[in-house]
Amino acid sequence: MVRPAQLLHETRPVAPVRPAATVLLLRDSADPAHPGIEVLMTRRSMTASFAPGAYVFPGGGIDAADSQSHALARRRPSQSDLHLTQAIAAIRESFEELGVLLARRSDGRMADVSDVARLDRQAPFAAQCSSQGLQLAADEVFVLAHWITDRDLPRRFDVPFLVARMPEGQEPVADESEQFEPVWIRPAEALARHAAGNFFIIFPTIRTLERLQAYPSVQSVLDACAVNDEPLFTSCPRAGLMHGKESRHMEHEQPFGELALVCPDGRIVHELAWQTERPVPLLRHVQRLTAPNPGMMTGPGTNSYVVGDPACGHVVIDPGPDEPEHIERLWRATGGDIRAIVCTHSHPDHSPGAPRLQSLCTRAGSPPPPILGLPSASTARVHSHFVPERVLADGERIELVGTSGEGEVRHTLRVVHTPGHAANHLCLILEEDGLLFSGDHILNGSTTVIDPPDGHMGDYLESLDKLDRLCEQHDVNFILPAHGYVLGDLPRSADNPSAPLHGGARAAIAHLKAHRLAREAKVAAAMRTRPDGTMDDWVALAYDDVPERLWPVAKRSMLAHVERIQSLGAFNG
């Protein structure tokens, strides 16, 4: 866990969440020119305390009476008590706000407009249904998603987004107090109108509509939700700034982990736009300076990290390419007090800047910091030749120790040898804060290239397992890669219910390993399909989900997969 004293911003209490429920009432389009799903949306009052003026799905808070109305509802065998209560709340809100009644008569027929007319939308809902002999059709309401309102907002809700088929013959009529202008709209049209600025919808609605538009019919949505009777996804988004404007992100999106690290309480202060002119503070003792070398293989550029503070000096991780202005900025970010320069591996976007950075320290009158790492192996390409001044040992610790007004200051980096991407690759774990500096072994936004002979797929997978064990041992929640944003998440808790069960860093490693093994299965299948095929034949089959322009790079990792498959005796074609 990150030490609270190292956070950039003093944490503040996050508003508690209130239970609520919302429902997407769906119907299949009757327009042959625009087939697919239509969803019912309404506009919220401009005076509403939450999302005023936004187009939303009907819903609201869960009342105590909802949990006491189970006997009035039809339920599926797999439907939990919680989901039943949520479905009842959504049914009640649909009726109160839009006059839509999801209920069945005693003979099993769906309620119609005559049943709706006999009920008062202002009177207690459950009692009226009971007196009319109506059963709430909770068994026909399924959980699509689970949203928890962002931490930065003063009013927060824990709300399932439920789905149900619109009852035939009924028409929505807004209550004209909370909801206005009911409209049937295709998800793609709602998103397009929002982008054009004339159909305001909030972030959870946007992301839900984006996923909904992939389904061809109402039944396909209901079938997908019925498989496990649990949400298809759960999210409590985080927000930062992109060129000064608010930018929200779900857990699977690249900036999420960085926002969780820098602003755990959800405040919107961290700028996400990539820049190379100045270091980006991530914690009080961790800065990232991105080199001006963006490209297909480097993403936004190579991340150089500065660990430490004035009380104990600094370690620079991956000084990057020998780019004078970048090296000068790195030196200035440390105040000239650099105790060591560590290169995670010898590739030309990581290690060549080390001698120039060392010489800057020497010219300024400081002791020359040693250049540390592992020497490039004989398998390395010519442009990746690297010999450190001192070879680091697996498990060795690099310590920064000093004294400030608050007492001893200590930052300990543990060296982890992780061959795979390169034979001399290493990672570093900042033990006091549970941070993993992953070099190129783990990236954000892409998988790393395993390029034989210096790259080795078997070693790569074993190194992932090794990192997983160490992340568990050292309570590592965040990964700081050499390319891309920080990966990871805070541990799961009542305030962070959408987090992975085993921590953000371990979840990222597990996902990466699963992806590699799934790709290897496709490579093996391609080899079986075309046993006499060439690498070009196999890459077209195994990487059919990757743009063809990337196949030349993909072939390098595919060769590593082929070598591993053959070494395991899994292919004898």
pLDDT digits (tens, 9 = 90+) for 400-426: 999 888 889 999 999 999 999 999 999
Instruction: Determine the Cα–Cα distance for residues 514 and 508; give it in Å rounded to an integer.
Output: 10
CATH fold of 17-236, please? Nucleoside Triphosphate Pyrophosphohydrolase (3.90.79)
- Measured from the Cβ of residue 325, the count of other Cβ atoms closer than 10 Å reads 11
> What pLDDT, on the 0 to 100 scale, is given for residue 571?
63
CATH fold of 277-497, please? Metallo-beta-lactamase; Chain A (3.60.15)
The ranges assigned to domains in the chain are 17-236, 277-497
Topology match between the domains 17-236 and 277-497 = no
Label residue 336 exposed, middle or buried (CB < 10 Å: 0-12, 13-18, 19+). Answer: middle
> What pLDDT, on the 0 to 100 scale, is given for residue 222?
97
Mean pLDDT in residue range 286-301: 96
Backbone angles phi, psi at 20, to 5 degrees: -150, 175
Looking at per-residue pLDDT, the higher value among 494 and 439 belongs to 439
> What pLDDT, on the 0 to 100 scale, is given for residue 546?
93
| Closest C-alpha among 260, 321, 268 to residue 290 | 321
| Closest C-alpha among 505, 510, 539 to residue 525 | 539
Give helix 535-542 / helix 551-567 axis angle, nearest 10°: 100
Alpha helices for 79-233 (secondary structure H): 81-98, 113-117, 125-131, 187-196, 203-212, 218-226
Label residue 202 exposed, middle or buried (CB < 10 Å: 0-12, 13-18, 19+). Answer: middle
- Measured from the Cβ of residue 414, the count of other Cβ atoms closer than 10 Å reads 18
Q: Contact, 138 vs 91, CB < 8 A?
A: yes
Rounded to two decimals, the pTM is 0.93
Give the helix/strand (H/E) hosting 143: strand 142-148
| Closest C-alpha among 246, 261, 310 to residue 8 | 261
Q: Contact, 75 vs 85, CB < 8 A?
A: no
List beta partners, residue 234.
146
Instruction: Determine the Cα–Cα distance for residues 193 and 195; give it in Å rounded to an integer.
Output: 5
**129-186, pLDDT tens digit by residue?**
999 999 999 999 999 999 999 999 999 999 999 999 999 999 999 888 778 889 999 9
